[in-house]
């Protein structure tokens, strides 16, 4: 068991989905359809279980091109299939009135691989937020309890959408822990595109045709954008960790650095488990392992400690927390006197 887990843990960290986005910045959307198709297909390198797209057309849909679901400021179409078979919808639904597009390719983790759990996700409160997420969120069920919101899916990503509607990106930082790169739109801010990453998964962006005023595109990596848009990509950057980017209706980009964003990446303080947020405890050197026979953590020096019953070795985030020694009570005795009684 220990040998198997030692092999699986490095792979768990590599779990990925692909995300992408487009903001027209007053340019001709018809000219980027080919690039958007290439981007969506290329993002399948990060997940082929499902694919989805959300888009906003200011003059509505062409009725001859089918009927995507759930209009609430933007249309959504998704399916438990690879993006290669879905890419035709870029040509079918987008037109010169298209202002924003969100793209996703899924590597299924939490929730069955079906249309409901595929991205993009709506915020469960009113559907005001439409969002795609790359990464995993630990303890997402607790997030819904904290918000007093009933989820619509089994997917952990929906927790971030719920937070975005409740209190914006600050609420995500306050309640969500894990690896998160997010792209979203908010129907209360028409034709505005949002982006943020905590560094757990890559995120890149750039402009087409003109480095200062061209259409804005986002992708999981620079390589995805370069392969999709080729010579039309005139600028390209890695997103800054913790920075909330807003592409406004006129195509200009503003940003705000969100405090404590980095603390949300693969950290889960015990104070959060009891409902009181505090800064995560500094990690120790070396990696811990898991003893499945006795449900114990094993320190780098070979000594062991009991784990709380609710720690689940099949949960990627729990295993990463074990590896980082997050449940080792020796590290917390100065902070939580009752930790050992758990």
How many domains, the chain? 2
Q: For position 75, which CATH number holds?
A: 3.60.20.10
DSSP annotation of 303 reads: -
Same domain? For 172 and 291 the reply is no
Measure the CA angle with vertex 305, ends 300 and 306; round to 5°: 140
**pLDDT on residue 10:** 34
Q: H or E stretch including 9?
A: helix 2-13
Report the alpha-carbon distance of residue 242 to residue 250 in Å, rounded. 24
Which of 36-40, 89-93, 276-280, 307-311 is predicted with the least confidence, judged by mean pLDDT? 276-280
158 contacts 151 by C-beta, under 8 angstroms: yes
In a domain, 198, yes or no: yes
pLDDT score recorded for residue 278? 33
The verdict on 204 and 152 lying in the same domain is yes
C-alpha to C-alpha distance for 179 and 110, rounded to whole angstroms:
14
Rounded Cα distance, 10 and 180, in Å? 18
Highest-scoring range by mean pLDDT, 92-96, 177-181, 215-219, 317-321 = 215-219
For 115-180, give the DSSP string: TTTSSSEE-TTTS-EEEEEEEEEETHHHHHHHHT---SSS-TTHHHHHHHHHHHHHHHHHH-EEEE
Band the pLDDT of 30: cuts 50, 70, 90. confident
- Which tokens in the block code for residue 192? 């505005």
CA distance 245 to 202: 15
Q: Are residues 91 and 163 in the same domain?
A: yes
238, 263, 288 — which closes off a domain?
263
> What is the total residue count of the chain?
342
Q: Is the pLDDT of residue 244 over 70?
A: yes
Residue with tokens 């979203």: 184
Q: Which of 237, 263, 289 is the last residue of a domain?
A: 263
Tokens 């933007």 — which residue? Answer: 74
Do residues 266 and 324 make contact, with C-beta atoms less than 8 angstroms apart?
yes
Query: Is residue 225 one of the residues assigned to a domain?
Result: yes
The reported pLDDT for the residue numbered 301 is 84
Instruction: Using pLDDT thresholds of 50, 70 and 90, give the confidence band for residue 285.
Output: very low
Give the C-alpha distances (Å, rounded to integers) separating 97 from 3, 57, 58, 62, 221: 55, 5, 5, 11, 27
As given in the structure block, the two tokens for residue 36 are 């958007």
Task: Specify the higher pLDDT residue, 269 or 247.
Answer: 247
Which two structure tokens, joined as six digits, stand for 176?
A: 């969500």
d(CA 83, CA 16): 15
Expressed as residue numbers, the domain containing 157 is 16-263
Rounded mean pLDDT, 257-275: 61
Residue that terminates a domain, selected from 204, 236, 263: 263
More confident residue, 19 or 296: 19
Q: What is the mean pLDDT of residues 27-55?
A: 93
Beta pairing partners, 100:
23, 56
Over 80: is that where the pLDDT of 69 sits? no
Residue at 10 is within a domain: no
Are 246 and 206 in the same domain? yes
Same domain, 120 and 218: yes
The upper half-sphere exposure of residue 118, i.e. CA atoms within 13 Å in the direction of its Cβ, equals 24
Please check whether residue 5 lies inside any domain of the structure.
no
The yes-or-no verdict on residue 337 having pLDDT over 70 is no
Question: Using 50, 70 and 90 to split pLDDT, how confident is the model at 280?
Answer: very low
What phi and psi values does residue 4 have, to the nearest 5 degrees?
Answer: -65, -45
* Averaged pLDDT, 18-39: 94
Does one domain contain both 300 and 243? no
> Is the pLDDT at 61 greater than 70, yes or no?
no
Domain membership flag for residue 270: no
Contact 162, 131 (CB under 8 A): no
Instruction: Indicate whether 8 belongs to any domain.
Output: no
CA pair distance 134, 27, nearest whole angstrom: 27
Are 94 and 23 within 8 A, CB to CB?
no
SS3 297: strand
The per-residue pLDDT for 164 is 98
CA distance 241 to 200: 9
Please state, rounded to an integer, the average pLDDT across all residues of the chain.
82
Asked if the structure places residue 268 within a domain, the reply is no
The whole-model pTM stands at 0.75
Does residue 6 fall inside a structural domain? no
More confidently predicted of 31 and 3? 31
pLDDT of residue 232 exceeding 70? yes
Q: Which residues contact 72 (CB under 8 A, 6 or more apart)?
A: 122, 126, 127, 128, 130, 187
Taking the alpha carbons at both ends of the chain, their separation in whole angstroms is: 25
Q: Note the pLDDT of residue 59.
A: 75
% of residues, the chain, pLDDT over 70: 80
pLDDT at 20: 98
Task: State the Cα–Cα distance between residues 342 and 326, nearest whole angstrom.
Answer: 14
């Amino acid at each position: 068991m220990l040998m198997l887990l030692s092999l699986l843990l490095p792979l768990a960290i590599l779990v990925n989905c692909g995300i992408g986005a487009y903001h027209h910045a007053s340019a001709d959307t018809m000219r980027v359809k080919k690039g958007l198709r290439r981007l969506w297909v290329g993002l399948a390198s990060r997940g082929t279980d499902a694919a989805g797209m959300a888009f906003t057309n200011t003059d509505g849909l062409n009725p001859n091109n089918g009927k995507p679901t759930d209009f609430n400021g933007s249309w959504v179409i998704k399916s438990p299939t690879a993006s290669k078979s879905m890419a035709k919808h870029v040509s079918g639904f987008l037109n010169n009135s298209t202002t924003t597009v969100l793209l996703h390719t899924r590597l299924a983790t939490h929730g069955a691989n079906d249309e409901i759990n595929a991205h993009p996700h709506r915020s469960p409160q009113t559907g005001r937020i439409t969002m795609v997420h790359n990464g995993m969120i630990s303890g997402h069920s607790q997030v819904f309890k904290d918000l007093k919101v009933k989820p619509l899916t089994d997917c952990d990503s929906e927790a971030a959408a719920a937070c975005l509607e409740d209190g914006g990106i600050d609420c995500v930082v306050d309640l969500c822990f894990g690896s998160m790169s997010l792209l979203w739109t908010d129907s209360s801010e028409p034709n505005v595109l949002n982006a943020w990453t905590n560094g757990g998964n890559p995120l890149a962006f750039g402009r087409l045709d003109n480095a200062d005023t061209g259409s804005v595109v986002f992708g999981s990596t620079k390589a995805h954008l370069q392969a999709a848009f080729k010579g039309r990509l005139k600028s390209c950057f890695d997103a800054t960790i913790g920075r909330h980017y807003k592409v406004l209706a006129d195509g200009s980009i503003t940003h705000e650095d969100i405090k404590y964003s980095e603390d949300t990446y693969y950290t889960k303080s015990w104070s959060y488990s009891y409902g009181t947020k505090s800064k995560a405890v500094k990690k120790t050197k070396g990696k811990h392992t898991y003893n499945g026979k006795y449900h114990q953590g094993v320190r780098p020096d070979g000594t062991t400690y009991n784990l709380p019953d609710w720690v689940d070795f099949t949960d990627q985030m729990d295993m990463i927390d074990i590896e980082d020694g997050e449940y080792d009570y020796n590290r917390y005795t100065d902070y939580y006197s009752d930790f050992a009684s758990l």
